[in-house]
Amino acid sequence: MPSQLIERGPHGPVAKRQRLNRADAPRTTRRASKLFSPFRTIGLVSSTAVPFTSVPLGGKTFQITTSVGRCLQTYDLKRGLGLIFLTRPQTPADITATLAWREFVFATWGGEGTQPGFWVFKRGRQVAELDVPADLEEPIKQILIFGTWIVGCCSTRIEVWKSGTYEHYTTLYPTAAPKDGNELTGGITNMPTYLNKIFAGRKDGAIEIWNVSSGKLVFTIMPPAADCGAVTVLQPSPALSLMAIAYSKGPLIIHDVRTDKTIINLDGGNSPITSISFRTDNLGAGEDGRTAGVMATAGPNNGDVTFWDLNKGGRVMGVLRGAHNPPSDAGATIGGGVSKVEFLWGQQVVVTSGLDNSLKTWIFDESPHSPIPRALHARSGHAAPVTKLLFLASDFDGADGGGKWLLSAGKDRSLWGWSLRNDSQSAELSQGNIRKKAKKLGLLASTLTNQSSTLEDLKAPEITCIAMSMNKEGGMGAHAGGGAIWQKEASRSKKPTDATASGATGWESVVTGHRQDSCARTWFWGRRKAGRWALETGDGGYVSSVAVSPCGNFAVVGSETGGIDTFNLQSGRHHQRYPCKLTKAQAKKIQLQLQLEAARAADQPRPGTYQLGLGRHRKSVTGVVVDQISQTVISCSLDGKIKFWNLERGALVYEFESDVGFTGLKYLASNDLIAVSCTDFSIKVLDTATKKLIRDIHGCTGPVNDFCFSNDGNWLVAASADCIIRVWDLATKHLIDAIRMETQCTALSFSATGQFLATTCEGEIGVNIWNNITLFKHVPTRHISESEIADMALPTASGEGGHGMLGGAFEEDDDVGNSPEAGAYDAIEDLDDRMMTMSMVPKSVLNGLQYIDEIRARNAPKEAPKKPEKAPFFLPGIDNTMPVTHVQDTKSTTAYERSRIMKLGPQTESPFTITLRAGSESGDYLPFLTHLSTLSPSTIDLSIRSLSPDPSNNEQVSFVRALTSRLSQNRDFDLVNVCLRRFLEIHSEDLQSAEMRAALGAWRDVAAQVKVGELASYGLGVLSFLRSAD
């Protein structure tokens, strides 16, 4: 609980702790999912417009803190921007301002019509909370700490606290002005040697100087002209009394505060400047770069950073073009622009953060001198909402357990590979040197906003489908060829390609389809870069679906006009078309056959026979897969047909037709099942071996956005437009879990190990990771109703409220097994008494009983116990410290207890013996077998050994009859067989009596009936398979 996380602040008790409990209260009323628990959100670096904050650490490194909504992330510069802290608990509302000061990070949150909050974090943990005035109902946009003061700037007021006690001191209100001219648009700052003074920039262009100690307005700096516009940013320079001031309509000035005179006038251009920083290592300016006076400016309307030399009146020294993605012309879905630029104190390193969800560092070269820095480090993620997810089937890099890597595609035209174990390994798959291409096209020669094309246009179109196979993945050593990326077959050299290099090292393993593009593209996963081939559809239609064969040799591309083509990934050559292209002789032969059939009024061809060259889909191919032996291509289409094609010949093998269209296709290789989503919001499951429909699942009330099988094939998980993720059990077709979200889930994927479920929601740039609870504890999978749909909060970037992989194993769910619904589920009988069922005894118990002799032999000591070594001379021996009288008393007591126990022995019987005797007398062995299933392997072994062969009460015969009775009921097949095997191993010498022979003969007769039934079922199954394959 939050109240347990924070006990005392650095200067006394934490104020207003009750607000934490009030904020967390609504979460406790939410119904949790039975199968999944939130883990964390990945892919967020600087996802909001809140500027980053930095602080030096020990003179050796810097820590940079960014905001990702309700959580702060701290990166270490020396570790290459490695993530070191995540703040917990997360704030009740979105963070609006941050500031790192000494070892603390201050953050404000909320305020949009409600009272904001002000928290203090240390090493990722909340340690204090500042008291906020009760009448404050607007967000705090900036935090400033100097001397003994903490100052928070809002739009219409300034709040002041004491930094020693975190006590609220006063509130400052700007002087009134017409047309909201007193709005604080330029934030606040302070200057060295100006004691207790702050400077506040206003909307009317004026700058007010306030004394926070006395609460009085000291002076007002008027704008240089009436048409300058609002103040956008204030930044003191390293020179005393000089301040840089930027205005919304372009002017950028260096002002002497002491004399109230403008020293330098600069033209900031048409784009407003919102961030200014000065270089403080006394280098960088001048022709040789050995003079002080460098200033950097940036704004949110483009991705450029401008560097100024302020010597001799000031001039533009250089422009870092495309430091961050510019705002996209596609609307607000793709973020861009620079939110802050800052020179690190005393360093030649500049840090920038952008609205494209990225944080970057740049460094200036001293020799030779360069006015523009080069890239040093970068951390980033998707700049637009994620649309597609795909877990790698296996970890090619040898990581234990698999399930480590996740592929994601977004509307920002990027493809990312995320590591769930080490964030620093996550990276975007390169699409070539975009900046070099832009420079050749002249996009970096002038302001990007004046161009008809942007950096975004140089990337491949938005990815709409992903497929991969790791079988031919060559890792970092894969041969990438010497040519350009994404070569079309028509533009390649006609000379035969040398496949020796790629055959030895592997080739591309990822294929993607793109929006309104007729080419699918290949990627090298191991090298994290674009591949060699662009695979064009044979009919010229846009790519609608892709697949890669399990062998890794072929890529399948489906088009919106109904065509399907396969390509060889090693050579990039076209392999086959579906249906295949006919030669003139074949076409004439088929035409003649059709004419003869029409003349004779012949019936339609019998099912299962299809003419070569026929069977093309009439509408868009919405899904394609290749079976696990790479012999059959399976496709589905909006025309309501699922077609099975021979991969080599291109001939149609079988066709499944429905009265609804199909919108998606998934394949489960382990069970040879396919699932297709339909236009009537249902999902159909087919067996590819028999070509039969085995499940028709309904329940979604909106179009199915995405769906997938679980790793073991037991579940089908689907996300629909009604904002609900549903999970069905394929064996029973029961809806066993459902999670309602605030927005639609647009994509999901299940890891190959079953540990994680990845989801992404509409409008979100992060990827939500969920834990699979059932890996570590038993969860009843009964059918649930609509009232039992879970209403859960999404995973957070900090992982707060989530569970680790083993978290579910140590939780106790009171409602599991105790609720009326759970009890009703446990009481369900078998579907048919003739069905053989297994017991609920864990497999470890059965294996332990079956191999108990081997286990004991393995655990036996390898050598006899050794006599303890003689103690040193300064320590008394054990024999000398123990009185002889005490030993004699112990021996006598032990003998007395032994005799007492021996006397009581015949009168004491175990529950095993009691229930066995009762079952022998009544003929009902169910209580005995129920008790037997609860015992441990060693207890069962000891109980079997203790069975008495006394003719008056032969417990051994009763035990065999109990097992025979259970086997005749087709129950607990595994338990009774293991117990009988152990009985025969132990009592093999006591099987000569006539009564025992009769009991074992009855067992043999029952077991023979079971064996005959198994053979008959096997024969019927083989005949059914041969009949369907004919």
Closest C-alpha to 802, from 82, 27, 25, 26 = 27
Under the banding of pLDDT at 50, 70 and 90, the label for residue 954 is confident
Cα–Cα distance list, 948 to 913, 930, 943 (Å): 10, 21, 10
- 394 and 533 share one domain: yes
User: Do residues 847 and 979 both lie within one domain?
Assistant: yes
Last residue of a domain, one of 601, 628, 657: 657
Select from 634, 602, 629 the least CA-distant residue to 615.
634
Residues 154 and 94 in one domain: yes
CA distances to 326, 386, 433, 547 from 413, in Å? 14, 10, 15, 20
Output the DSSP codes for 629-677. TS-EEEEEETTSEEEEEETTT--EEEEEE-SS-EEEEEEETTTTEEEEE
Q: Which two tokens stand for residue 58?
A: 């020990």
Whether 5 shows a pLDDT value over 80: the answer reads no
**How buried is residue 772: exposed, middle or buried, by Cβ count under 10 Å (0-12/13-18/19+)?**
buried
Buried b (16+ CB within 10 A) or exposed e, 862-891: eeeeeeeeeeeeeeeeeeeeeeeeeeeeee
What's residue 273's pLDDT? 95
- Is the domain of 373 the same as that of 400? no
The encoded tokens of residue 152 equal 């928070």
Q: Which pLDDT does position 440 carry in this prediction? A: 76
* Domain membership of residue 93 as a residue range: 46-173
Q: Is residue 724's pLDDT more than 70?
A: yes
Domain holding 634: CATH number?
Answer: 2.130.10.10
Query: Does 318 lie in the same domain as 224?
Result: no
If asked whether residues 479 and 569 sit together in one domain, one would say: yes
Tell me whether residue 863 is in a domain. no
Q: Is residue 5 part of a domain?
A: no
Q: Residues with Cβ < 8 Å from 35, sequence gap 6 or more?
A: 715, 727, 736, 737, 772, 773, 774, 779
**258 and 164, same structural domain?**
no
Q: Which of 397, 418, 393, 431 is nearest to 526 (CA)?
A: 397
> Is residue 690 one of the residues assigned to a domain?
no
pLDDT digits (tens, 9 = 90+) for 403-437: 789 999 999 999 999 999 888 899 999 998 887 78
Task: State CA 1030 to chain mean position distance.
Answer: 45
pLDDT of amino acid 817? 42
Q: CA-CA distance, 336 to 321, in Å (whole number)?
A: 13
Q: What is the number of structural domains in the chain?
A: 5
72 in Cβ contact with 65 (< 8 Å): yes
CA 396 to centroid of chain Cα atoms: 19
**Cβ count near 239 (within 10 Å):** 15
Give percent above pLDDT 90 in the chain.
56
Residues 864-893 have pLDDT tens digits of 777 777 777 677 655 544 444 444 444 444
Most confident of 308-312, 332-336, 810-814, 893-897: 308-312
Residues 207 and 68 in one domain: no
Do 368 and 512 belong to one domain?
no
Phi, psi at 122, each rounded to 5° = -140, 120
Sign, CA torsion 571/572/574/577: positive
Positive or negative torsion for Cα 813, 817, 818, 821 = positive
Which is higher by pLDDT, 329 or 459? 459
Task: For residues 894-915, give the mean pLDDT.
Answer: 61
Question: 332 and 462, same structural domain?
Answer: no
Q: Is 867 inside any structural domain?
A: no
Burial class (CB in 10 A: 0-12, 13-18, 19+), 944: buried
Alpha helix locations (H) across 500-545?
Answer: 500-505
CATH of the domain at 252: 2.40.10.480
CA distance 296 to 362: 12
Same domain membership, residue 488 and residue 390: yes
- Is residue 478 domain-resident? yes
Q: How confident is the model at residue 562 (pLDDT cuts 50, 70, 90)?
A: very high
Tell me what pLDDT residue 882 has.
45
819-829 residue pLDDT tens: 444 444 444 45
The mean per-residue pLDDT over the stretch 449-467 comes to 77
Does a structural domain hold residue 896?
no
Please provide the DSSP assignment of 966-996 as one string.
Answer: HHHTT--HHHHHHHHHHHHHHSGGG--SHHH
- Position 554 in a domain: yes
Residue 510 has pLDDT above 90, yes or no: yes
* Three-class secondary structure of residue 912 per DSSP: helix
Q: Which residue in the block uniquely carries the two structure tokens 């994404």? A: 486
Among residues 185, 122, 188, 192, which one has the least CA distance to residue 150?
Answer: 188
Residue 860 within a domain: no
Indicate whether 323 and 462 sit together in one domain. Answer: no
Per-residue b/e over 5-29, b at no fewer than 16 CB within 10 Å? ebeebeeeebbeeeebeebeeeeee
Give 1010's DSSP letter. Answer: H
Peptide bond into 368 cis (omega under 30): yes
Query: With a threshold of 0.85, does the pTM exceed it?
Result: no
Once rounded to an integer, what is the mean pLDDT over residues 727-744?
93
pLDDT tens for each residue of 284-298: 999 888 999 999 999
